[in-house]
Structure 1
Amino acid sequence: MKKFNSSQVNWGVIGAGSVCEKKSAPAMNKVSDSSVVAVMRRNADKAKDYAERHGIPKWYDDADSLINDEEVNAVYIATPPSSHLELTRKAANAGKPVYVEKPMARNHAECLEMIKICEEAGVPLFVAYYRRTLPNFLKVKRLIEEGEIGEPRYVSITINQAKHPDVLTDASNWRIDPDVAGGGYFYDLGSHQLDYFDFLFGPIKEVNGIATNQSGQYPAEDIVLGNFSFESGVLGTGNWCYTTSNTSQKDEIVIIGNKGEIRFPCFWGTHVTLKRDGKEDEVFQFEMPENIQFYLIQSIVNELLGKGGECPSTGVSAARTNWVMEQMVKNFY
């Protein structure tokens, strides 16, 4: 890997849309020795508007111009997954580290190609699975490592979510277009959960699933059921349904051990509940950073500048998540 020859990470952001309003790009200006120096959107007026509102000096309506800007020395790709491979290729060929939104790509093959491109170019590849750095999720990891629930036996995911209001009203909703996103909301949201389990227990070695579209409202799958096993021996199951009633909505992850269990939400809350044999339940509450990707971006900057530590979410780990999702929905596609 080539050495990052700078004392400052100057980000160029491709696709300065909704995710960049609060979740990600503002954090790049808050992390020490990091700043956003240029943004790009295909719509020039929107690119200019974003830059002016966020105090960013330069804006473009062309990705090549941003990537080839000499002041930009790291590229954040915040576009839909269908463009991740090609934009990663261009950034890597320009010798610039790549930070790409999740899911990493539309399919596992594209992920592997992105990894290969960056390895050959000698640049690091990071992916925005930021739950690997958030305090509530790190607490769960510590509880497991400290033996609070004994030996983990199995994990389960349940997501019951009512139909998104934008499904029928927004024709530009790429999250339900498999040609752009790789799948539906399962790819967009379920990827966070599966990646987090990879972080807790290591790679998943076996997986099977069934997916279908029950509502007929869009082309992607809207329900997925899956079973999986980790190399570590832990087993898992997941149920993802994105067309339930409002009264049935649920977001819960459960980790069962031989001495207790841990329960927590992935999206709708930040609490963690620890249950152990013969002891009162403990509930831990956490506050999130204003910009949810702050800690992950901080880890990227620290790694690039040699300030200690490594980013826990890489192209290699993120590609495994794409492989798992692909196995779960392959019957549908």
Structure 2
Amino acid sequence: MGEMKFGIIGLGGMANHHLNLLSKLHDVKVTALCDVNEKALHTVANKYEVPSERRFTDYESLIKDSEVDAIISIVPNKVHAKIIKLCIQYGKPLMTEKPFTVNFEEAVELKELFEKKPIPCMVGFSYRYIPAFRFVKQMLEEGQLGAIRHISVSYLQQWGAPLFEIPFNWRFSKEMSGSGALGDLGSHMIDSARYFIGEFKSVAGMMTTFVKERRVDGGGTQAVDVDDFTSFQATFENGAMGTFVTSRNAIGSGNQLEVTIFGDKGTVKVGCETPDEIEICVISKENLESGFVKIPVPEQYYLNQLQDFIDYVKGTSLKYVPIFEDGYKNQKIMECVIKSATTGMRIDVGNGSWGQSL
């Protein structure tokens, strides 16, 4: 394959991030765009010189277009499953945003279709491409921390707090998003834990909504029917334990995903807001008083996510790529957290054949 021709569905804020990643790569071209907002569609299309006949408001037309080799989908959660299904139907490689679907039932249906007609499908767990995260992953593989006993993960943002007066939007709707902080932020927490530690065994969760209604532009309010705070504990197949908390009401937190991993020989701290360094404490019998030190991330751990997607499509990269199976398992774990929070019981995840239906 020579130049890879990309079609992008959804031109909201995250589209700028992916277009920026593409701009740093060779032998790629944006040949088609899709958005329901025609003003945004033409503004972006003019910038990237996309011809008028490949400016779509209907995503199926873009997906089946012969001038599109691969799809990047950046749309509200409700549309994820529909686009994945069409990409499977037309045999188009896809990079889809997280969460994988709005619920586990959709994920099960997609799995059945995918097993009959698999395609390259990357799920947008972008924090696997934070250099510091990749550096820590290598340390864990080398056993530098010894046996891993516990992982603590938090993903905190402040924008949902009452003082910011954020109006109602699709992220506050269960129909459109499936869940709130859990799907938006917690999906990244779950993927980070699977990336670093391995498969979940069971979860015990609690969820709540602090801000129960939001103002609607034009007047009035609308009820919020998704969580804005979720916490859960977890056990892993390898015997490790995990604690997780996510909130949209954490004053002082911008985009704060932080992971601490505790092993028999040491502890490491990593966060998305400090992508170029880690904090690590390693002890030995000869030095039990060692403290944390900051270590810069070596250059070899920097990798453009969309370059990895391209290599994946070409069949030259598989290691650590967040693929269809990762999206499916992530959705299963989130569903177990919701079920636990609803019933007050600890829920076994189950990982046989990607996990059985709930």
TM-score by shorter chain over 0.5: yes
Assess, with a 3 A threshold, how the Cα gap between structure 1 residues 177 and 36 changes in structure 2: closer, same or farther: same
Assess, with a 3 A threshold, how the Cα gap between structure 1 residues 286 and 310 changes in structure 2: closer, same or farther: closer
Contact kept in structure 1, 2:312 and 2:318, CA below 8 Å: yes
Largest Rg, 1 or 2: 2
The counterpart of 1:33, out of the listed 11, 27, 32, is 27
2:266 aligns with 260
String of CA shifts for 1:223-256, please: whole Å, max 9, x gaps.
2120111112211011223224449997532111
The counterpart of 2:14, out of the listed 9, 19, 35, is 19
The reply to whether residue 302 of structure 1 matches residue 308 of structure 2 is: no
Query: How many Å separate the matches in 2 of 1:104 and 1:295?
Result: 21
Query: How many Å separate the matches in 1 of 2:113 and 2:268?
Result: 39
Assess, with a 3 A threshold, how the Cα gap between structure 1 residues 287 and 26 changes in structure 2: closer, same or farther: farther
The reply to whether residue 322 of structure 1 matches residue 331 of structure 2 is: yes
2:76 aligns with 80
1:170 aligns with 167
Assess, with a 3 A threshold, how the Cα gap between structure 1 residues 29 and 159 changes in structure 2: closer, same or farther: closer
2:348 aligns with none
Any unmatched runs of 5+ in structure 2?
214-223, 344-358
Moved more, 238-247 or 212-221: 238-247
Assess, with a 3 A threshold, how the Cα gap between structure 1 residues 308 and 104 changes in structure 2: closer, same or farther: closer
- Secondary structure of 2:44 counterpart: helix
- Secondary structure of 2:182 counterpart: helix
Q: CA deviation at 1:209?
A: 0.6
- Provide the alpha-carbon RMSD of the alignment: 2.7
Query: How many Å separate the matches in 1 of 2:120 and 2:257?
Result: 33
Assess, with a 3 A threshold, how the Cα gap between structure 1 residues 89 and 176 changes in structure 2: closer, same or farther: same
Q: CA deviation at 1:61?
A: 1.4
2:217 aligns with none
Q: Which amino acid counterpart does residue 138 of structure 1 have in structure 2?
A: R
Q: CA deviation at 1:280?
A: 4.6
1:203 aligns with 199
Moved more, 102-111 or 304-313: 304-313
Q: CA deviation at 1:136?
A: 0.7
The reply to whether residue 130 of structure 1 matches residue 136 of structure 2 is: no
Aligned counterparts, 1:49-198, within 5 A: 49-57=43-51, 58-164=54-160, 168-171=165-168, 173-198=169-194
1:284 aligns with 295
- Secondary structure of 2:105 counterpart: helix
Any unmatched runs of 5+ in structure 1?
1-5
Assess, with a 3 A threshold, how the Cα gap between structure 1 residues 251 and 92 changes in structure 2: closer, same or farther: closer
Q: CA deviation at 1:165?
A: 6.6
Query: How many Å separate the matches in 1 of 2:69 and 2:303?
Result: 19
Contact kept in structure 2, 1:24 and 1:294, CA below 8 Å: no
Query: How many Å separate the matches in 2 of 1:74 and 1:96?
Result: 6
| Residue correspondences, number | 321
Query: How many Å separate the matches in 2 of 1:54 and 1:99?
Result: 20
Query: How many Å separate the matches in 1 of 2:256 and 2:126?
Result: 22
Query: How many Å separate the matches in 2 of 1:118 and 1:247?
Result: 38
Contact kept in structure 1, 2:21 and 2:305, CA below 8 Å: no
The counterpart of 2:3, out of the listed 1, 8, 18, is 8
TM-score (normalizing by structure 2): 0.81
Contact kept in structure 2, 1:28 and 1:294, CA below 8 Å: no
Contact kept in structure 1, 2:155 and 2:185, CA below 8 Å: no
Query: How many Å separate the matches in 1 of 2:211 and 2:132?
Result: 34
Assess, with a 3 A threshold, how the Cα gap between structure 1 residues 170 and 294 changes in structure 2: closer, same or farther: farther
Query: How many Å separate the matches in 2 of 1:205 and 1:252?
Result: 22
Contact kept in structure 1, 2:189 and 2:244, CA below 8 Å: no
1:3 aligns with none
Query: How many Å separate the matches in 2 of 1:130 and 1:161?
Result: 17
Q: CA deviation at 1:125?
A: 1.8
Q: CA deviation at 1:160?
A: 4.3
Q: Which amino acid counterpart does residue 319 of structure 1 have in structure 2?
A: Y
